[in-house]
Structure 1
Amino acid sequence: MSAPAPLVAASLLDRLAGAQVVVCAGPGGVGKTTTAAALALALAGRGRRVAVVTIDPARRLADALGVGTLGNDPVPVAPGTLAALGVAPPGELWAMMLDPKLTFDGLVAELAPDPQRREAVLANPIYRQISTAAGGSHEFTAVARLHDLDRDPRFDVVVLDTPPSRNALDFLDAPDRIAGFLEGRAVQALLGQGRTGIAARVARRGTNLALGGLRRLTGVEVLEQLATFLAVLGPLTDGFAARAAAVRALLRAPTTRFVVVTGPGPVPAGEAIFFRRHLQAVGMPFTALVVNRVTVLDPASGDGDGGAVGARLAPALGAPLAAKVGRTWDDHRRLAARDAEAVARLSAATGDPTPVVVPMLDHEVFDLPALAAIRDALLAPRS
């Protein structure tokens, strides 16, 4: 019986055909930011107008794209730079680095019913703490920014680089948590929502009395600040809830694709599998697995062991050095075999029969030519 034909996969770009949002997610330290930028470059090469967004605090994206410092608004990569990498009009590539504080402020300015309400929110001490807090602010503002960019007529597709995987789950769950919080009975009661006339005034008066009593008992002014914050927030809650609901639908839309990025090591591989299962549990579309920094064997190098390699090289290098090269070759073969087994386990666990394998590079990706090399590896035929 003849051996079965190898499974040949559609290219990664083919699997992303029709995508309007591409979310790159996975553990930290596996080249996720670089993968997002390389995918954005590849999509621009297909004539798409692409915005790539990072919330990675390491800020490596600007270095890889050669655009200097990134801010909260997308900046274009120069057409001449893109042309040198094979990207021609109508393809465009824009990049930005999410700034939680500016995004928060912009959302408040958009949703506030009047300038007075906007200034009251922006000046509130509770708001200033929330909008600059390290924990949670990236996830919330990434939700808001993704909503804006998806509706921006300048772009056909948005590529989003997310935090490391467990934090990325916070991003995925943020729309549900935001909506649940704003719809909760406690917040509704504090805001006097669902009541009109005398009932609303009684609810607000009761809230103020309760907070005032707690202040007298504790002497903590934060309770008054919280009361003020909730009072000025009231007219904005419907806008926040609507934004959260829109992004919740966007993350489950058929035009959204999730690419899980990982490495072959046991820790990042375990986190990638965990993330993939969460996607399945919440009904979000998984498109592809990318395994970065994999040790691979050059097919042209043959399959001889270190002893055979050393014997061939001994006349040219001398026996001691040739033997050392042979031992290094055996180590490399063992690493390649280990990584191949890891990729096979990841493939089975995530349900991607032909994951994208990106070989280990001997240098960091800090410029566009190196980024183009990653792009080419991502698009290489797979079987």
Structure 2
Amino acid sequence: MSASPAEAQGRRQAPAMDLDALIADPATRIVVCCGAGGVGKTTTSAALALAAAEAGRSVVVLTIDPARRLAQSLGLVELDNEPRRVDVPGIDGELHAMMLDMKRTFDDVVTAHSTPERAQQILDNPFYQALSSSFAGTQEYMAMEKLGQLRASDQWDLIIVDTPPSRSALDFLDAPNRMGRFLDGTMIRLLTAPSRTGFKFASAGFLFFSRIISKILGGQLLRDISAFVAALDTMFGGFRERATATFELLRRPGTWFVVVAAPEPDALREASYFVDRLSAEGMPLAGLVLNRTHPPATTALSATRAEGAAEEVAESGGETAALTAAALRVHAERMQQAAREQHLADRFTSAHPEVAVRTVPAAAGDVHDVDGLRGMAEALTGADDDTPTGTPRTRVLPARRG
């Protein structure tokens, strides 16, 4: 009997993703890893960076996630806002790592694009200190700033970006538009009107506005905001131009986005959101890394047959019957879990048939050192059909034949 259209669609094969060729290609200059929280995105970023360094490239991996997992897995005590060299014996290239410090990056921008006197005014301003530390959207904009700085330095021929968890991972794509809306907003225009024009009606408007808004915000906060905006006035154009330039850099050839997910419904729903968003923005997508899958040691014995064999062995009552039956039941559970994971992967591929997929088996424990990263790098970059069971790395289980 031939398969129904729905069954055939569910078994549609995802294209293979060749991450080995992607990171070894000199034309690849930026790789952005994005995905939901808790799916191994940071480890994936570090493993790709290590593989690229072993292939002879000069790599820096930038994490925007404030967790310390990247530093730990690379054998470093901590990371900060400047790239640190990672000493890995036997690699042909170089590996550096860093973690975005939002406030320090903002401070560096102010210092670089202002006179010393103006920069000090801004740095000492209470409103700036709050803005640079916790204001909504500042982290995403500073991520764009730091990425632009790294790319402009030409010190590294590959930059790998580990983004924050969940949907905020793509918020930095909105940074140029957010900056534009902020700079063009009514409040900013009113605050900057006296410093920009000097006309009496502008000053009068500002005084009228200040009386109203000071009742809401408080007089001191309003004065802090006004002083900050006046001091920052000359930098506004540069902020917007740099953010827009980095945004366009992400669209150009040489940049690739890698979406990371776990074989779980919520994580794959987030992955679908990322894929749709990247497509809408015209961003280049390399594919989906389906991380922490559970492929069985063999696919020759089905779950049903393993459960039946376990019952027969247990009833036989031999010396090793209990142990053998337990092993068969473990295999049956593993096959059932793999089948559930493959079903979820098939649903994703049915919705996004053009997206390449690479499955990565779950490690025995947490990846916390360079050896663990090497193992994951092999799973990410190994030949598609080079697996213990011969199952292509695009899948958890072999495809059933209709």
Tell me if both proteins adopt one fold, taking TM over 0.5 as the criterion: yes
Matched, 1:9 2:16: yes
1:316–1:362 distance in 2 versus 1, CA, 3 Å: farther
1:365 matched to 2:364: no
- Does 2:72 correspond to 1:53? no
Distance in 2, matches of 1:212 and 1:110, equals 35
Q: Counterpart in 1 of 2:288?
A: 289
Higher alpha-carbon deviation: 140-149 or 165-174: 165-174
By how many angstroms is 1:109 displaced?
0.6
Q: Runs of 5+ in structure 1 lacking a partner?
A: 1-5
Please state how far the C-alpha of 1:202 moved relative to its aligned partner.
Answer: 4.6
Is the 8 Å Cα contact of residues 179 and 244 (structure 1) preserved in structure 2? no
- Alpha carbons of 1:294 and 1:10: their partners in 2 closer, same or farther (altered >3 Å)? closer
Look up the SS of the partner of 1:163 in the other structure: coil
Contact kept? 2:190, 2:205, Cα under 8 Å = no
| Residue 255 of structure 2 corresponds to residue 248 of structure 1 | no
Moved more, 318-327 or 302-311: 302-311
Task: Report 1:13-92 matches (<5 A).
Answer: 13-16=20-23, 17=25, 18-78=27-87, 81-83=88-90, 87-88=91-92, 91-92=93-94
Kindly indicate whether the alpha-carbon contact (under 8 Å) linking 1:30 and 1:292 is maintained by their aligned counterparts in 2: yes
- Deviations along 1:56-103, one digit per CA (max 9) or x if unpaired, are 12110011111221111000111xx241xxx21xx1110001111111
1:97 has 2:96 as partner: no
Shift of 1:307: 2.9
Does the alignment pair 1:305 with 2:312? no
Distance (whole Å) between structure 2 residues aligned to residue 317 and residue 361 of structure 1: 33
Q: Which amino acid aligns with 1:39?
A: L
Q: CA deviation at 1:297?
A: 1.6
Q: Distance in 1 between matches of 2:36 and 2:121?
A: 39
C-alpha spacing 1:215/1:315, structure 2 compared with 1 (3 Å): same
Cα distance change, pair 355–38 in 1 and its aligned pair in 2 (3 A): same
Q: TM-score, normalised by structure 1?
A: 0.88
More moved, 341-350 vs 368-377: 341-350
| Aligned counterpart for 2:320 among listed residues 318, 323, 327 | 318
Please give the residue correspondences for 1:71-150 in structure 2 after superposition, counting only pairs within 5 Å: 71-78=80-87, 81-83=88-90, 87-88=91-92, 91-112=93-114, 114-133=115-134, 135-150=136-151
CA distance in 1, matches of 2:310, 2:338: 17
Write the distance in 2 (CA, Å) between the matches of 1:34 and 1:140: 24
Deviation at 1:9, TM superposition (A): 3.3
What residue is the counterpart of 2:395 in the other structure? none
Equivalence for 1:210: 209
Per-residue deviation, 1:301: 6.5
SS in 2 for 1:251: helix
One-letter amino acid of the structure 1 residue matched with residue 21 of structure 2: D
Alignment partners' CA distance in 2, 1:102 and 1:94: 19
- TM-superposition CA deviations, 1:18-64 (whole Å, max 9, x none): 22111000100000000001111111122211110111121100111
Shift of 1:173: 1.3
- Name the CA shift for 1:266/1:310 in 2 (closer, same or farther; >3 Å): same
SS in 2 for 1:29: coil
The alpha-carbon deviation at position 204 of structure 1 amounts to 4.8
Give the C-alpha shift of residue 315 in structure 1: 7.8
Q: What is the deviation of 1:224?
A: 1.6
**AA partner of residue 145 (structure 1):** K
Equivalent pair of 2:42/2:70 in contact (CA under 8 Å): yes
Contact 1:24–1:162 (CA under 8 A) maintained in structure 2: yes
Contact 2:14 2:354 in 1 (8 A): no
Deviations 1:155-200 (A, max 9, x none): 011100001131113122122211332244553443239965x54x
Rounded Cα–Cα distance in structure 1 between residues aligned with 2:164 and 2:217: 38
Contact 1:34 1:365 in 2 (8 A): yes
Distance in structure 1 (CA, Å) of the matches to 2:69 and 2:135:
19
| Structure 2 partner of 1:332 | 334
Instruction: Confirm or deny: 8 A CA contact 1:21 1:255 kept in the other structure.
Output: yes
- SS of the residue corresponding to residue 296 of structure 1 reads coil
Amino acid at match of 1:49: S
Q: Distance in 2 between matches of 1:207 and 1:317?
A: 91
CA displacement at 1:340 relative to structure 2: 1.3
State the secondary structure of the residue aligned to 2:376.
helix
Aligned length: 369
Equivalences for residues 253-272 of structure 1 within 5 A = 253-272=252-271
2:225 aligned residue: 226
Local SS of the residue matching 1:357:
strand
| TM-score of the aligned structures, taking structure 2 as reference length | 0.84
